[in-house]
Amino acid sequence: MHSQVEMNLVLDGAMTYWFDGRELTVRAGSLCIFWGMIPHQVIGRPEGTRFVCIYVPMSIFLGSPALQRFSDAVFRGAVIETSELRTYEEDIFLRWREELLSGDHALEEIVKQELTARLLRLERDGWRDLREAGSALANAGGADAARIQRVESMLRFIAEHATDDISAEDVGRYAGLHPNYAMSIFKDTIGHTINQAIVRHRLDTAQSLLISTDLSITDVAFESGFGSTSRFYEAFATRFREKPSAFRKRIRARATKSVE
């Protein structure tokens, strides 16, 4: 998990992701984009697969009003795939990678501007949500700019503070809104409540800890922001239909098998 937007261009082969409980495969010639706060992992790739991964700072992603519809979809957990990829994209992404690794701050600023332009072109050319191609989410019209800005502010606050003892009132207050109005526009825009979003982020954190650490289940529960292990077990089983210990065992067994 990370706070940036991730862009992956598959040059050769294919990549299979575990993405928030789903498995999605992206093949050569595809550019996919998603929010790094959603737990994700590459769980399979054929020998010879090559790809370029670039993290786009949130400031770039949210910096253009023309990207409001696109950013709304990404914050909902969409896995975006471009509908059109040009022949020169591979050279551009490889050059961006080289320049970002160079340590040259002037080049980094140029790459940021070019990344912004690429996102704007992506929005113009069209895209689809790999989870539900052709869904209402991917084809939804634009929303009121002020409302989206408020919702994005609440989403950022939740992403940064979900493991703390926060409430829906705290989230609304951060966005400068009355709690009832904050909960209303959040539910209308995102499709679930603020409290559900907080729990979702806590579960996302728990998944990451289960995968990447040897913390006990109890420690994972409290590190993720749950006030009790019983609430953690209930929330985890409701969303993922298995116990945390079973999830950890299954994911680690799969990872071990992929290495062999």
- Domain with residue 237: its CATH number is 1.10.10.60
Q: Does 10 lie in the same domain as 128?
A: yes
Indicate the range of 61-65, 133-137, 197-201 predicted with least confidence: 133-137
Band of residue 21 on the pLDDT scale cut at 50, 70, 90: low
Q: Does 176 lie in the same domain as 122?
A: no
Q: Does 151 lie in the same domain as 130?
A: no
For the chain, give the longest Cα–Cα distance.
Answer: 55
Between 29 and 235, the more confident residue is: 235
User: Model confidence over 93-148: pLDDT tens digits?
Assistant: 999 988 888 878 888 889 888 988 888 888 888 888 776 543 333 333 444 567 76
Q: Does 70 lie in the same domain as 54?
A: yes
Q: Does 131 lie in the same domain as 12?
A: yes
Q: Does 159 lie in the same domain as 109?
A: no
What is the structure's pLDDT at 188? 80
What is the structure's pLDDT at 59? 62
- pLDDT at residue 1 is higher than 90: no
User: Model confidence over 50-61: pLDDT tens digits?
Assistant: 999 888 766 666
Q: Does 134 lie in the same domain as 150?
A: no
Band of residue 6 on the pLDDT scale cut at 50, 70, 90: confident
Give the domain range for residue 242.
143-260
Q: Identify the domain boundary among 110, 139, 168.
A: 139
Q: Does 214 lie in the same domain as 122?
A: no
Q: Does 94 lie in the same domain as 37?
A: yes
Q: Identify the domain boundary among 99, 120, 139.
A: 139
Q: Does 129 lie in the same domain as 110?
A: yes
Amino acid at 194: I
Q: Does 13 lie in the same domain as 135?
A: yes
Of these ranges, 38-42, 107-111, 164-168, 253-257, the one predicted with the greatest mean pLDDT is 164-168
This prediction has a pTM of 0.53
Q: Domains in the chain: how many in total?
A: 2
Between 59 and 247, the more confident residue is: 247
Q: Identify the domain boundary among 139, 167, 185.
A: 139
What is the structure's pLDDT at 177? 93
Rg (CA), the chain: 19
DSSP string covering the chain? --SSEEEEEEEESEEEEEETTEEEEEETT-EEEEETTS-EEEEE--TT-EEEEEEEPHHHHTS-GGGHHHHHHHHTT--EEES---TTHHHHHHHHHHHHHTT-HHHHHHHHHHHHHHHHHHHHH-EEETTSTT-HHHH-----HHHHHHHHHHHHHHHHHTTSS--HHHHHHHTT--HHHHHHHHHHHHSS-HHHHHHHHHHHHHHHHHHH----HHHHHHHTT-S-HHHHHHHHHHHHSS-HHHHHHHHHHHHHHHH-
Give me the chain's average pLDDT, please.
Answer: 81
Q: Does 133 lie in the same domain as 204?
A: no
User: Model confidence over 22-47: pLDDT tens digits?
Assistant: 788 888 888 998 887 677 888 888 99
CATH number, residue 31: 2.60.120
